[in-house]
């Protein structure tokens, strides 16, 4: 079975949001148009406590986008975003959510960031997504959402390690840093990920 994954289609990643991805809102109608082609639609949701240590505001003498080490891992410090219970953490209002079978929240541990929908960045704790998909006998995952070069990319990497076939729907995602994403794109192709346009489905 194949499943469609909607990675962090949340207000704070949209234009005007706390950590806006350029043209992020343009993927929403593309994702809406894809959903009926899948038996299973799953979403992930960044869901940070206000005191999360990936937020620049929680570090003296640091500002957004500084690079630090956090609990032994490299960490980009972000503007506070997708704080639990805020409007910024909600899904984009135009996202069709009625076919979303399950939502996997991530980034809830204040001590470690969590880009991937499968694990935190240190691979210390699973979200349970992999087991959920296996229970439903899913073999192929189609990825959409934000941002292409962070949460989408690292989710794909973890899915590959878990043995899933992976497809990136390129026009249903956007990157924070398109130049960095282009390098990652080449890596994904080398790893056997199919990269397609929504019109090819």
Residue 57's pLDDT is: 96
Q: What is the pLDDT of residues 46-70, one digit of tens each?
A: 999 999 999 999 999 999 999 999 9
Strand, helix or coil for residue 111: coil
CA distance linking residue 137 with residue 157, whole number of Å = 19
pLDDT cut 90: percent of the chain above it: 99
Q: What is the pLDDT of residues 17-47, one digit of tens each?
A: 999 999 999 999 999 999 999 999 999 999 9
Q: Are 59 and 46 in contact (CB under 8 A)?
A: no
- Residue 151 known to be catalytic: yes
Residue 64's pLDDT is: 94
Catalytic residue among 8, 25, 120, 158: 8
Please give the CATH number for the structural domain made up of 2-50+79-200.
Answer: 3.40.50.850
Domain coordinates in residue numbering, the chain: 2-50+79-200
Of 131, 110, 113, nearest in space to 122 by CA: 113
Work out the pLDDT band at 115, boundaries 50, 70, 90. Answer: very high
Q: Are 133 and 79 in contact (CB under 8 A)?
A: no
Q: What is the pTM of this model?
A: 0.96
Q: Are 47 and 89 in contact (CB under 8 A)?
A: yes
Catalytic residue among 18, 25, 106, 120: 106
Structure tokens at 13: 């990643």
Q: What is the pLDDT of residues 164-179, one digit of tens each?
A: 999 999 999 999 999 9
- Residue 12 known to be catalytic: no
Catalytic residue among 25, 46, 151, 158: 151
- Residue 63 known to be catalytic: no
Q: Are 3 and 140 in contact (CB under 8 A)?
A: yes
């Amino acid at each position: 079975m194949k499943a469609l994954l909607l990675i962090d289609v949340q207000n704070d990643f949209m234009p005007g949001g706390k950590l806006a991805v350029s043209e992020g809102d343009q993927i929403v109608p593309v994702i809406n148009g894809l959903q009926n082609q899948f038996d299973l639609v799953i979403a992930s949701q960044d869901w940070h406590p206000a005191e999360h240590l990936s937020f620049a505001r929680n570090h003296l003498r640091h500002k957004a986008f500084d690079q630090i080490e956090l609990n032994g891992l490299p960490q980009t410090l972000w503007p506070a975003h997708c704080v639990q219970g805020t409007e910024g953490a909600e899904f984009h209002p135009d996202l069709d959510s009625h076919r979303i079978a399950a939502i996997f929240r991530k980034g809830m541990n204040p001590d470690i960031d969590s880009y991937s929908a499968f694990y935190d960045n240190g691979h210390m704790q699973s979200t349970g997504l992999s087991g959920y998909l296996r229970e439903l006998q899913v073999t192929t995952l189609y990825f959409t959402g934000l941002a292409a070069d962070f949460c989408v990319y690292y989710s794909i990497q973890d899915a590959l390690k878990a043995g899933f076939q992976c497809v990136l729907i390129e026009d249903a995602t956007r990157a924070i840093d398109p130049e960095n994403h282009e390098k990652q794109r080449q890596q994904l192709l080398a790893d056997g990920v199919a990269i397609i346009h929504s019109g090819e489905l």
